[in-house]
Structure 1
Amino acid sequence: MRDDAFRAYFERQHTSLSRLAFLMTGESSAADDLAADALTEVWRHWDRVQAADDPAAYGHGILMNLARQWVRRRGRERLLTFGMSPGTQESRDVPAVLDVRGALRKLPHRRRACVVLRYAFDLSEREVAATLGISVGAVKSATSRGAKQLAGLLGGAVTRIDGWEAAR
């Protein structure tokens, strides 16, 4: 019974978790690994997941935490690759052609998370707040600032992202 319930959850959520991980990291190989890690954690805490008001949001929350850790680790690796230690000075990438994934990667984690969950996953502000463990006000603020920053990075154009639009 437990195995069947988890299998059904896995089948319903795997694609969504992979897509969310891709939008948060911009890398398909990392997205697959993070989705698998998130589902492993869901299995480990299956009783809590099933008891949650929204089991899908529980899984998204796990994935968001894993993605944040991945992004931080990746940033530290880049600093060390450039021979810099965290806190000494900022590493600036050479400007490249901006695409949506590249622009999303430039947003701070919370803004990126709010923008992706609100627009790509069409979650309500309350659902995003529950997923990220923050207040609805924080979601509104981060989403507004993130959308404005994203529009600025994209030159103010209306851009389609995986079926959703980020407006000016």
Structure 2
Amino acid sequence: MTAEMFDAFYRGTVSRLTRYAYGLTGDPGEAQDLVQEAYARAWQHWRRVSGYDDVEAWLRLVIGRLVNDRWRRLLVRRAHAARTPPLPAVDPPSEATVLLVAALRQVPFEQRRAIVLYHLMDRSLADIAAETGSNLSTVKTRLTRGRAALAALLSVDTAANSGGTHVHGA
């Protein structure tokens, strides 16, 4: 069978098979993922699969096996989680951290990305340029402008939270 025949088969069966997978999982997103995986497997072996008497039944079998694998993985994950002690409680962020994150959210994305990559991820200017597809001059400009915007935002927030006096370490 050709690609056109596979396409026609797909168009004629995808709705039914998606309903089938949804009935098995109860999750529309998971159902779509399982059906997509089943069709990908059918396409990989289409020369052989297309000769079956009931190709749709073969796909239902594949979907059923994928659902079983999914449940098996969930059970293994649940068993592992039951054996693993809970993580220790994490302290809430400091007021300075909350202020910094709030201010970062107000800085334009490209400037914020440059600041985070440079100051939080310890990336070099050249690395940031390569990662963002920018030239070195652009990265330097974004950092400079981002720092200035961040400083202005933090000085306003800090003054408002401290009754007009500057908070040390913020």
Q: What band does the TM-score fall into relative to the shorter chain?
A: 0.3 to 0.5
Say which structure, 1 or 2, has more relative contact order (CA 8 Å, 6+ apart): 1
Give the TM-score normalised by the residue count of structure 1.
Answer: 0.46
The structure that has the greater radius of gyration is: 2
Relative to its length, the structure with more helix (as a share) is 2
